[in-house]
Amino acid sequence: MRFDSFEFIVFLALTLVLAAVSTGRRRHAMLLVASYFFYASWSPPFIILLWFSTLLDFFCGGQIAKSRSQAPRLGYLLLSLIGNLGVLVYFKYGNFFLDNVAFVSGLDPSPFYLDVIIPLGISFYTFQSMSYTIDLYRREAEPCRSLLDFALYVTFFPQLIAGPVLRVSEFIPQLRRTEPVREAEVLQAVELFLLGLFKKTVIADNIGILVDQVFAAPASYNAGAIYLAAVGFFIQIYCDFSGYSTMARGLALLFGFKLPNNFDYPLLRWNPALFRRSWHITMGNWFQNYVYRPLSRSGNSNQSNAGTAKKPWVRESDGRLVFNVVFTWGLLGLWHGASWNFVLWGLSNGIQLALYLFVLRRKSWSLPDFHGKKFLGWLINFNLWVPGSILFRAQNLPDAWVMLTRLATIADGRSVAPGWYVGIAVLGGIHLLSYHYYKEDLMLRLGWAQRSLLVSGVVAAIAAFAATGRPFIYFQF
């Protein structure tokens, strides 16, 4: 049941009606049941994994909060980590591990292959649930006394499958709200949902036609087509994933919940650090809080606004800086999928960021300000994304190598229609204008007649130009 399906519209309408006629704990219980139903529409048996993560972390979190000595606190934290990561590794990385063992040893892995499929959203809800026990262990969160509330935190359907990834302190306090959803929230919710739906179905899915065409037969295309397909995939995955996140924010707002923004115009950022802080923000924060900061020994995350704790790389040695950044990004690449493509993508991002931070803290000079300075930085940054985009999207490492070498040697071959170049350039211009002038409040500033025209126009555009049938890219992770 995808957000862009008729079945979901029926489900959403019914859930909204039930939410409007229920209050308090009954409303929370109804939303939890609806969230389980939403997840079960993909594969009912995998609800057991949701229950497992929920019950495990609720129990471990409660025990951590009650324990006064360090040993049991650490023991329950380890139980949570081993349980959650064990399930994740089994379903997502088991066969990848067997393949690599077989490659090194020469053994045939086929008798040992696990006959499993990756449960939808497991990488997202596992990390979200696990963050609760880590925060309690660090004494950065209050224990959740209600299993119902905690289950809803883990399972809330708008962000269950692909985020944003929440921390318990961002969601549980909102359950105490008693006032009804305001008109302004409904208007903004409609705007966000339609914006996300347009980005996904009209922009991402149509650009996916070009991307699929070139990446399916990379050896036959020239360097220009490969470059455009790599840029196109970056636009596709941005509009696909940010489209989902924007729709999730809109859906949550219909029920009175505010979710964090997951993207902040990353395609317009002019240095590696800004780009990585504005792309998939909640997952980046997760890895910063729970992987990078422990490695850098920079203290707990609730000190992140004080002094140099916000920039722990300032105090690290050169070797520790490079290792910590590259290691964290290598794990982030592996989080995306059980493939060396993703690992190399993560490592390449980590190397770029580590080199940038290394130079940034050691340089005693900076370029003088001049018109176009940020544009120059963006242009350099933009072209650094292209190899990573190829690594991320290529079907395998040999295909990625073919594309990178053909790009580097400016190889001849088939070209793509010139209209694709024009279309992507126009999209870039529209994106730049929205960065300067759009604040996600258009529905609030218009009258009812104008709102009706706007909604009707967007719905008509989606109906006319949507390329339907494509799942969200991040559903595979």
Q: Catalytic positions, please?
A: 336
Query: How many CB atoms within 10 Å of residue 381?
Result: 20
> Which is it for the CA torsion 164, 165, 170, 171, positive or negative?
positive
The answer to whether 413 touches 229, Cβ cutoff 8 Å, is no
Closest CA to 235 of 281, 197, 199, 196: 199
Look up residue 155 and give its two tokens: 């399972």
The answer to whether 324 touches 296, Cβ cutoff 8 Å, is yes
Between CA 236 and CA 229 the distance in angstroms is 10
Look up residue 97 and give its two tokens: 């591990």
Between CA 159 and CA 154 the distance in angstroms is 9
Cα separation values, 234 from 59, 205, 241, 258, 274, Å: 41, 12, 11, 27, 17
Between CA 171 and CA 174 the distance in angstroms is 5
Residue 252 identity: A
The answer to whether 342 touches 392, Cβ cutoff 8 Å, is yes
Query: How many CB atoms within 10 Å of residue 312?
Result: 21
The rounded Cα 341 to chain-centroid distance in angstroms is 18
Cα separation values, 49 from 56, 144, 443, Å: 10, 20, 40
Between CA 425 and CA 451 the distance in angstroms is 29
Query: How many CB atoms within 10 Å of residue 299?
Result: 13
